[in-house]
Amino acid sequence: MNPEVTVRKAELEDEVPIEVLMSTYFLDIEGTEIDDFVVATIDNRMVGAACLEIGKIPEIHSIAVHPNYRGKGIGRLLLDSLIADIEEQEFLFTRTTSPAFFEKAGFIRLDDTEKKELWDDCAGCNRFNNCKQSVLRLEIKKR
């Protein structure tokens, strides 16, 4: 029997466990707000977290699932929770080194040059030509 996964808005006491989980994948969450996160728990133990930032564009900033719980649909539950919160948006974007995960969820890969137009930090990055991140977009209104 699989334990039940609960997805909920992050709370202040989730901050350190989120930082630990994200550091497992070397994800930088500096400058993000706890209010922008959702977390997945099993038996009150955090097994995943995801961050949605709505600035210039709506962006999945970070998403991570504990290595022992990968491949069980938890990432998709987190993603669906974030998407449900922004149904008034036309598109959702992400920069990722794991494009296959997002493509399975309906995101389409964009040309790398789009990064410079969408993210100011990409426009001025001296490592742009060697960047390992793909840029993807999900059309929200057609889901």
pLDDT digits (tens, 9 = 90+) for 34-93: 999 999 999 999 999 999 998 889 999 999 999 999 999 999 999 999 999 887 889 999
* CA–CA distance, 128 with 120 (Å, rounded to integer): 12
pTM of the shown model: 0.88
Residues 22-43: what's their mean pLDDT?
Answer: 91
Q: Which pLDDT belongs to residue 6?
A: 96
Q: Are 38 and 49 in contact (CB under 8 A)?
A: yes
Q: Among 62, 31, 27, 57, which Cα is nearest to 117's?
A: 57
- The pLDDT tens digits of the residues spanning 39-50 come to 999 999 999 999
* Measured CA angle at 7 (ends 39, 119), to 5 deg: 50
DSSP letter (8 states) at residue 129: G
* CA–CA distance, 109 with 37 (Å, rounded to integer): 24
Model confidence at 113: pLDDT above 90: no
Q: Which pLDDT belongs to residue 86?
A: 87
* Measured CA angle at 85 (ends 82, 54), to 5 deg: 80
**Dmax (CA) of the chain:** 50
Q: Which pLDDT belongs to residue 138?
A: 95
Maximum mean pLDDT: which of 22-31, 88-97, 115-124, 127-136: 88-97
Model confidence at 143: pLDDT above 60: no
Cα dihedral value 76, 81, 86, 92, nearest 10: -20
